[in-house]
Structure 1
Amino acid sequence: MSKPVVVVGGSLAGLAAAARLAKAGHRVVLLEREARLGGRWAARAVGSVAVDPLPTVFTFPAPWRDLFKKTGRVFDAELARAELALTPAEPAVHRFTDGSDLALPAERGAQWTVLSERYGMGVATRWRDLLDELDSSWQALRRLGIEAEAPDDALTARARARLRARHTVEDLARGIGEPHLAEVIRSIAWRMGSRPEHTPAWHAVRLSLERTFGRWTMARAGTPIGAGALLELLVQRLATRGVEVELETRATQLEPYRVTAGRTSLAAAAVVVATNPWTFTALAGHPERALARRLRWARPALVPLVEVDRERPFGPPGETVHHSPSGPVVTYRLPKDDLAIRHDHVHGVRDRSAGLEWASWRTWRRLPPLRAATPMTFLASSASRAGNDPWAELLSGALATYAVHEALTGADIRPTNRALRP
């Protein structure tokens, strides 16, 4: 039997890499220390309720579409088979400390109408121009670790100038000249697990992604449901592709072309490590001392405290963002069981599985590279240069797949990356 590609970690990045590699013809063994797949996005119990921590609203579903297309049945057909559909989501309702609300639509023209009527044409113009500038930033970022491998020296002085690297999310918030929209901008950093005054301004591209690709939610029979159903479909795709999944199996050591898990030693053609970088450097030891030094002063990003409430009376379904100076509390209301899931970023806790907290633009250079120092070892996780959003984890798994397949076969299966559809 041929040596497998061993994927260490059942995070979204690990699942994406495993499915893609198996479809590309490789034997794949996936090791996951927990009893279920999905990493930090796996459903978990909060009190007596099973909670799906994946955000209910998608603002960039293209990576999900691409993953399903490249590993078997296309996305929409897979959803239809499971009696699911991706449907447009209502605008998020932003609630501010002065008691006022703003329902901010995603579409460009609708944004202009709402903002000009509410705050005046000057504010609406500044918002439009900011998102136009962020559209340009997105095009630059795509080649800096999101859709293409980016070595440490890729963030050149020219790239930094184009991305306004010395500007922070806080700078953008102050520049918009309207307190409510300033809070909307700041929330981007908080929801990434970082502070607005330290997070590079380029991360606000998430605002332009929403304007470009819209807001979407999973639905069954027209009723919005949690996004966990999508994770379940991805796990099923692994079975379809013949990925050998070993749950409750903790990797204890990594060596070139070998992974040890307890008393079992697996010879590997290549290894994809889809755990957090601190765990990886501990497993790999001396060969990864340079990466360990890079991480010495890095701190894990913050993840929200997730709470559940069965509201009475039940508020309107959708997403409500309660803003505060210490961060937002995001509430997703699902009609099923009158359930409200709150992601409390005010009381967030550090979690290594969420990647690195941003200290400045220089944090980009502390992020793990795609190719580890250990031979034939590749890294994909929420700490990658793609980011720590669910869609970013999927893309980091894709980049690892391209690199592994090329290293093993000499064939380049990278896409041309034309315009992505929503």
Structure 2
Amino acid sequence: MARVVIVGGGFAGLTAAARLAKLRHDVTLLEASGTLGGRLRGLEWDDHAWHLSPETVTLPGVFRDFFRKSGRTMDRVIDISPAGPRRHIVVRGRRRDVLDLPFGTRGAQHDAVVETFGSDPWSPWVDSLGPVWDGVRRRMFDEVYDGGLERPYRRLLRPRRTVRQAARSAFRDRRFRTLVLDPVRLAGDDPAHTPAYTSVWHYAERNFGRWRFAGGLPALAAALERRTGERKVDVVRSTRALDVRYADGAVSGVETADGTVDAEVVVWCAPELPRSYREPSLVRRIPAPRSLLVLREPLDLPEEIVVHAELPVRLWQSGPRHWVAENRAGGDVLDVLASAGMDWRPLVTARRDLAPRELVGLGHDGWAWRGWRAAAQRPGVAARHGLFFAGAHAHPGSTLELVGLATAAVAGHLGEVPRR
């Protein structure tokens, strides 16, 4: 049995703690605030919990695997249902093409693309990502990644190839290119420096769907908190971890403002890195400005909308009359929407704008791609001396699915403690 200290009580920390406790490790979780769940709880404003990213997820197997391997199965804990299509509005001058792209089925995607654009080069391109997805999953997701990429994987993944190069090669029609490039821009990355293999998420969404938890992400946070209680995790709130202590070349504890907590293994899930840990030579992603919009009345629209203008804008529903706008286009987001045929200006009854500097203080959005080698420089790669990382700031990325894969890999690496 290892004495494991988990730092941070968000999604990463809760899933890591419950998994490792189920494997019979002695687990303590340190949370700086008085509540668990982190960004799953949302941002409170105007008597409402706002979610600064869409509440839908892909790869439902990641969540099912967590619940199954930490206790009762997911279907006995929280309901999950398929999300509706994502609306893409492609703006070219005065022309607007509207694509409602469904998830989880190739046939439905094909039909939607043909209906909007008249032909379907999209589906064959997504098909081609299947082997890439398998390679990325096996080499970078299923185990704690060591930072290497052997020759067979290099041939498969072609890591030097960028998203921009792949989009130009695959599509003559610029409308399809923008469907590939804009998700990268929205994430805060440059398609000219982002590896093409990261586009596998189009394959994952089509094959595994997008899903919504009943009660949203706060309900998921509550379920995770209950699970840590069931697994008898020692949760210590209002305790900020500062650094990791070492003895004889291995982790010996976590330094907090109140003293040192002994540990043989540390899983650091908090966005602030340990003081003694060398900051990676990467650039932190700068989130796009967000606008929280309260409308006069509910609108009959898909729950997620992407406007592909010169630069993209993304909207998602965060309540019956509540929408969040993520704006990479600059200027007033309501003016950008009006130019795309969505004039919400008369409908907005309350509004709050969040600048990037405010959003950076609310959490980590991961590290910007600067070529494929950036993958090997993130915290969590080549774990040493009993220190592991998981979370938005760590390998393999900032989405819930990727974070869930990271904590599963850590648990698999540490393994089960034999029964006495």
Structure 1 residue 364: Cα displacement: 1.4
The counterpart of 2:356, out of the listed 338, 344, 349, is: 349
Residues 111, 3 of structure 1: CA spacing in aligned structure 2 closer, same or farther, 3 A cutoff?
Answer: closer
Cα deviation, residue 202, structure 1: 0.9
Using a 3 Å threshold, how does the CA distance of structure 1 residues 239 and 100 change in structure 2: closer, same or farther? Answer: same
Q: Which residue of the partner structure matches residue 340 of structure 2? A: none
Provide Cα deviations, 1:301-333, integer angstroms capped at 9, x if missing partner: 233434322223422252111223333322226
Distance 2:74 2:60 in 1: 10
Mapping for residues 5-404 of structure 1, pairs under 5 Å: 5-79=4-78, 85-98=79-92, 99-106=96-103, 107-121=105-119, 124=120, 126-153=121-148, 155-174=149-168, 175-219=170-214, 225-255=215-245, 256-276=251-271, 279-280=273-274, 282=275, 285=276, 288-289=277-278, 292=279, 295-296=280-281, 298-317=282-301, 318-332=303-317, 334-335=319-320, 338-346=321-329, 349=356, 351=360, 353-373=364-384, 375-404=385-414
The Cα shift of 1:72 comes to 1.0
What is the identity, as a one-letter code, of the residue corresponding to 1:322?
Answer: V
Note closer, same or farther for the CA distance 1:149–1:263 as it changes in structure 2 (3 Å cut).
Answer: closer
Deviation of 1:48 after TM superposition, in Å, equals 4.2
Residue 119 (structure 1) shift: 2.2
Q: Deviations over 1:268-291 (max 9, x none)?
A: 132111134x613x2xx2xx55xx
Residues 354-404 of structure 1: CA deviation (Å, up to 9, x unaligned): 22111111211212244543x222222224332221111111111112223
Closer, same or farther: CA 247–385 of 1 in aligned 2, 3 Å:
same
| Shift in Å, 1:47 | 4.5
Q: Which amino acid in the other structure matches residue 331 of structure 1? A: W
State whether residues 169 and 186 of structure 1, in contact with CA within 8 Å, keep that contact through their aligned partners in structure 2.
Answer: yes
State how far apart, in whole Å, the 2-side matches of 1:54 and 1:78 are. Answer: 23
* Whole-angstrom CA distance in 2 between matches of 1:405 and 1:332: 40
Tell me how far apart the structure 2 counterparts of residues 265 and 395 of structure 1 sit (CA, whole Å): 29
Q: For each residue in 1:26-84, what CA deviation from the matched residue of structure 2 results, as whole angstroms up to 9, or x when unmatched?
A: 221111112322334432223443213352222222111111111111111111xxxxx
- Checking the alignment, whether the CA contact within 8 Å between 1:41 and 1:54 is kept in structure 2 is no
- What residue identity is the alignment partner of 2:365? A
The secondary structure found in structure 1 opposite 2:84 is: coil
SS in 1 for 2:216: coil
CA-CA distance at 1:233 after TM superposition: 1.1
* 3-state SS in 1 of match to 2:287: strand
Would the aligned equivalents of 1:192 and 1:388 in 2 still touch at CA under 8 Å?
no
Tell me if the contact between 1:172 and 1:185 (Cα under 8 Å) persists in the aligned partners: no
In structure 1, runs of 5+ residues without a counterpart are 80-84, 220-224, 412-422
Instruction: Give the TM-score of the pair, scaled to structure 2.
Output: 0.83
Q: Which has the higher helix share?
A: 1
Whether the 8 Å contact between 1:188 and 1:204 is mirrored in structure 2 is no
CA RMSD in angstroms comes to 2.4
Q: Distance in 1 between matches of 2:290 and 2:218?
A: 15
Tell me how far apart the structure 1 counterparts of residues 211 and 288 of structure 2 sit (CA, whole Å). 22
Q: Which moved more, 1:230-239 or 1:2-11?
A: 2-11
1:22·1:241 contact (CA, 8 Å) conserved in 2?
Answer: yes
- Cα deviation for residue 143 of structure 1 reads 1.9
SS in 1 for 2:177: helix
Contact 2:306 2:312 in 1 (8 A): no
- What amino acid is the match of 1:273? W
Q: Which residue of 2 aligns with 1:420?
A: none
Per-residue deviation, 1:235? 1.6
Percent of aligned pairs with the same amino acid: 29
SS at structure 1 position matched to 2:317: strand
Higher alpha-carbon deviation: 387-396 or 192-201? 192-201
Deviation at 1:410, TM superposition (A): 7.8
With 258-267 and 174-183 compared, the bigger mean Cα shift is at 174-183
Q: How far, CA to CA, are the matches of 2:327 and 2:35 in structure 1?
A: 24
Q: How many residues align?
A: 380
After TM superposition, give the deviation of residue 244 of structure 1 in Å: 1.5
Amino acid in the other structure paired with 2:287: V
Task: Give the C-alpha shift of residue 263 in structure 1.
Answer: 2.8
What SS does the corresponding residue of 2:261 show, helix, strand or coil?
A: strand
Q: Partner of 1:82 in structure 2? A: none
